[in-house]
Amino acid sequence: MGWTANDIPDQDGRVAVVTGANGGLGLETARELARKGAIVVMGVRNQEKAERAVVDIEAEIPDARLELRDLDLASLASVKAFAERVVGEHPKIDLLVNNAGVMAIPHALTADGFEMQFGTNHLGHFALTAQLMSALIHTPDARIVTVTSTARHAPSRLDPDDLSMEDGYSPWGAYGRSKIANMNFALGLNDRLEIAGARAVSLGAHPGFSNTDLQAHSAREHGGASQRFFARTVQWVGMPPSKGALPQLRAATDPEAGGGELYAPRWVNSGSPVRRPVTGLRNRPGDMQTLWSVSENAAHIEFDVEAIAADDGS
């Protein structure tokens, strides 16, 4: 039998921030961390749906410690306000799970003018991580888990001069670009944490083919044949969210997990969570550096991990 939620160690008193915690993988991640005693800060955009998620968790775990906080990853102003409030309330953060995302939707722009999938899935999380880093890097054994997917193998490239993707937009191409960015951010961040001598680590997680609302939302928004196909297929063969969340839960809590690792289903898109090799042409140092620089410029943030590690707050 493989790794399950029963293998999550005691999380009593630890502070975990989970984005997109009002449904799907984020809801299950919040549920299992709360079950093990963590204080779970739920960063969510849809507050009505989030309140239902809280009721759902508390019905099963009456003593769950949950904190709902408004977070729209498609708005850098919202990310900043969320981060400032969370750090003000929790100077020490043990876990950050960059889980929220959108998939294969029609062309749209974030509040700051970036293509929606790149802006939400990567840039919002990049800015969030940067602004929570002071609370993470000075917390012993803190972890940052960023969720990617098999789309990280897509033949998409980041064009630093076209972050809005106004011309030649492809819903799946843009999704692949955002998932490549997620993986490269996870790896690039871990490299910087190691250089800084920090005890915090960064990991990637791939949930496999999971039956959440992600595919249905994609089909509703776009209505394309491939979106409709995946929305139907995932209902037949997709893993339930409770299983799909296991790779990110293992990356976040397994004492044996290490920085720069990737956790994914054993059989690519299904099965128990295992550590997978990080391979492929998409994980080149040059691409990681380009992504980091582009993200800093786009978010108007200087994300200097060494400087944050050296600042003891005094």
* 169 included as an active-site residue: no
Amino acid identity of 103?
A: M
Helix (H) or strand (E) holding 138: none
Q: Which residues contact 314 (CB under 8 A, 6 or more apart)?
A: none
Q: Determine contact, residues 104/226, Cβ cutoff 8 Å.
A: yes
State the Cα–Cα distance between residues 214 and 256, nearest whole angstrom.
Answer: 30
Q: Tokens in use for 88?
A: 């003000």
Distances (CA, A) of 8 to 29, 224, 275: 11, 39, 16
Coil, strand or helix at 254: coil
Element containing residue 180 per DSSP (H, E): helix 171-195
Reference 259, options 141, 147, 129; nearest CA is 141
Candidate list 114, 118, 126, 175, residue with the active-site label = 175
Taking alpha carbons only, the member of 177, 200, 180 closest to residue 189 is 200
> Which residues are catalytically annotated?
175
